[in-house]
Structure 1
């Protein structure tokens, strides 16, 4: 017997700007060849929100000519991921994601506009930024965040608002599973509220990172290995 269907309230659906029940959530990531760091495998996966099973995947192996510059990840990775989204949209695929989770930051970024923002604006899709590392912006520090989380007694699902020296809330740090010491950092990408983003992340976490991003990471690495790239 299947469990209760994961769903958002009408108010939360409006915050995500869907106008419909959220069923399909995408995840994007890029993995790099161990033989040649300029060779990359971009991936788009789409999961059914109810079962968290992958219903679509597509890959693109490219040679990147734009160097990695901290804070400018979008200029290197966004074109590959946007092509995958555009390809799926042009095929009128019924599993086209209603929302996209991005292995990268949203507004939690030195310029307030990370990879998740870039993808969301260009593709006109709601996006959530999921970072594994904290950008030190507006006085935020990893040590300070860890101390605040430690005070929460390592409760699974606990989160703290990432409030900078300016008083601005940049996102949240959250421990997504029990006994997890390393938090993930959630921020708004595009067309979504922080509250709705937090709920969707919690719905999709089996391990440290949400399942759409986790599956994207696993499958892109497997693709490179299987093709000996």
Structure 2
């Protein structure tokens, strides 16, 4: 894209953002939001786009709806999409919102009784260059209450990842503790929240639409079993796994082959503090070489056993394993089996992430 078209597009998008920004409601609008225990809230949703490593055009648009307060899966939808709008820092919503909005509209048409009463967005809301991030954009266009939850700090409007910020993080002693993200203007744009006792690394919560910041923080904490709230922590269910594999691994014919190959392909986007670079894809790869062969137990200290072995055993046709000698067949020690569940375990250097086919649980 040449400089002039890019400049014209930025001006157009800035104008659209300014108009839509005027429609953002920064306060509570629902009775359940004012209740101490969120009485009346029954369904919470989460949306996200997941990318393939090295590909910032093709993505998997995902929507999940969970029951509240038990956070059980009620609905999920995953669709492969092709992003046509260019990436320009501060305008991520123009690339992603159309597909996320389509997922919500599809649900409203087909199963309106499952439409979420609030939507968690993997990204920022008012905590944004022009106070109109992805969560605001989706909220205004959908009309639904939205909460922005970012895993990384967007350094904007005087909020920086400096020593003061780090000391504030260190002061968060338990799940639910938080501190404000205050712009140079004095306005509080969001809050850094220690979402659970298990993780000392905060998430960054901001208003998207039709909810107050205090309520957004309180609700986010109530939806966290781990660091990231459940509606956006469960991006890869059986449907989304199948969607991604079918769309990007057409040359891998066997189920076992696809499951092994996808481990190095599935990615999660992360916001970057640099305005000159698009969000980087953080690949959930396997650092443990022993597990990559699928026939040996994992020796990685973070693991209890190779579930790659179990995947191989569970999804390889019987004829393929019967032809092997007993010593060569994939085996899993009883203490390391997961009853009735096929799982794909992947280790991240900072977070142990367990992606399961059919059920998701982080250990």
Q: Aligning the two structures, in what range does the TM-score lie when normalised by the shorter sequence? A: 0.7 to 0.9
How many pairs are equivalent?
213
1:155 aligns with 2:168: no
Q: CA deviation at 1:180?
A: 2.2
1:75 aligns with 2:69: no
Q: CA deviation at 1:226?
A: 3.5
Q: CA deviation at 1:67?
A: 2.2
The aligned residue for residue 218 of structure 1 is: 236
The aligned residue for residue 196 of structure 1 is: 215
TM-score by length of 1: 0.86
Three-state SS of the structure 1 residue aligned to 2:112 is coil
CA distance in 1, matches of 2:180, 2:244: 38
* 1:46-61 matched pairs, under 5 angstroms: 46-61=65-80
Three-state SS of the structure 1 residue aligned to 2:174 is coil
Larger of the two Rg values belongs to structure: 2
The aligned residue for residue 166 of structure 2 is: 146
Note if contact 1:103-1:131 (Cα within 8 Å) is conserved in structure 2: yes
Three-state SS of the structure 2 residue aligned to 1:37 is strand
Instruction: Tell me how large the CA RMSD over aligned residues is.
Output: 1.8
The aligned residue for residue 17 of structure 1 is: 29
Shifted more, 22-31 versus 59-68: the winner is: 59-68
Which of 47, 59, 79 in structure 2 is aligned with 1:40? 59
Q: CA deviation at 1:37?
A: 3.1
What does the per-residue CA deviation read over 1:106-152, in whole Å, with 9 as the maximum and x for residues that have no partner?
A: 00000100000000000000000001122222211123322112134
1:177 and 1:223, CA in 2 relative to 1: closer, same or farther beyond 3 A?
farther
TM-score by length of 2: 0.56
What does the per-residue CA deviation read over 1:68-107, in whole Å, with 9 as the maximum and x for residues that have no partner?
A: 2221110000000000111111124311101100001000
The aligned residue for residue 10 of structure 1 is: none
Note if contact 2:79-2:243 (Cα within 8 Å) is conserved in structure 1: no
CA distance in 2, matches of 1:100, 1:206: 17
The aligned residue for residue 88 of structure 1 is: 107
Q: CA deviation at 1:204?
A: 0.4
Structure 1 unmatched runs, 5+: 1-14
Q: CA deviation at 1:59?
A: 1.4
The aligned residue for residue 7 of structure 1 is: none
Note if contact 1:31-1:221 (Cα within 8 Å) is conserved in structure 2: no
What does the per-residue CA deviation read over 1:164-215, in whole Å, with 9 as the maximum and x for residues that have no partner?
A: 2221111100111225232110000000011111111011001111000001
Which has the higher relative contact order, 1 or 2, with Cα contacts under 8 A spaced 6 or more apart? 1
Structure 2 unmatched runs, 5+: 1-26, 33-39, 249-363
CA distance in 2, matches of 1:180, 1:111: 30
Three-state SS of the structure 1 residue aligned to 2:69 is coil
What does the per-residue CA deviation read over 1:9-51, in whole Å, with 9 as the maximum and x for residues that have no partner?
A: xxxxxx5423461110000000012364311110110000121
Note if contact 1:132-1:184 (Cα within 8 Å) is conserved in structure 2: yes
1:36 and 1:141, CA in 2 relative to 1: closer, same or farther beyond 3 A?
closer
